[in-house]
Amino acid sequence: MKSPLAATLSLLAGLAIMAGSGQLLADPIASSAKPLALRSIMKDLGKNAQAITEGISHEDWPQVEKAALLIADHPQPPLSEKMRIMSFAGTRIGKFKSYDGETHDAARTVAKAAKAGEGEGVILAFQKLQTACHNCHREFRKPLIEHFYEGR
């Protein structure tokens, strides 16, 4: 029979191997090297938010409207990924969804103001939009990256 110390050591070694291969805490499917669709959706949101800032500087309201509508109607991750995100967020999924909802609403308001050529309205609504982006990032970005990308 193993001594209690040896048993503890082999248990620890086993745990270290599991943690190293990301099986302890991470999403089990996360070991694939492929980034989430969410990441490329986010990259596009970032580009469109930049297009809005640029459009505001040039008072190019059609450009602002177009970029805002692309944010409002951004594509969604495939269902399987949504389920992974839901299981990651657990009981906080309601908050995640409500930040997404705020983003869509604010983007629509930006588009509406841009269509009417109301610069101040655009800027006010754009501030709300960025606040919605930021709120979600502040709360979910780091834990999501740790969960899906750093547990390998």
- Chain residues binding ligand HEC by CB under 6 A are 35-36, 38-39, 42-43, 45-46, 49, 71, 96, 99-100, 103, 129, 132-133, 136-137, 140-141, 144-145
Which of residues 43 and 152 has its CB atom nearest to ligand HEC in the complex? 43
The amino acid present at 104, given as its one-letter code, is: H
Please state, in angstroms and rounded to a whole number, the distance separating the CA atoms of residues 127 and 105. Answer: 12
How far is residue 119 CA from its own chain's centroid?
28
Query: What is the nearest approach in angstroms of ligand HEC to the Cβ of residue 66?
Result: 14
Query: What is the residue type of 92?
Result: R
Can you tell me the distance from the alpha carbon of 38 to that of 85, in angstroms, rounded to the nearest whole number? 10
Q: By C-beta, is 61 or 140 nearer to ligand HEC?
A: 140
Specify whether the CB–CB gap between 70 and 23 falls below 8 A. no
Nearer of residues 117 and 143 to ligand HEC, judged by Cβ: 143
Residue 22 beta carbon to ligand HEC: minimum distance, rounded to whole angstroms: 16
Minimum CB–partner distance for residue 149 and ligand HEC (Å): 7
What is the C-alpha to C-alpha distance for residues 98 and 18, in angstroms, rounded to an integer? Answer: 35
Nearer CB in complex with ligand HEC: 35/117: 35
**Quick count: other Cβ atoms within 10 Å of Cβ 37?**
15
- Give me the least distance between CB of 4 and ligand HEC, in Å please: 43
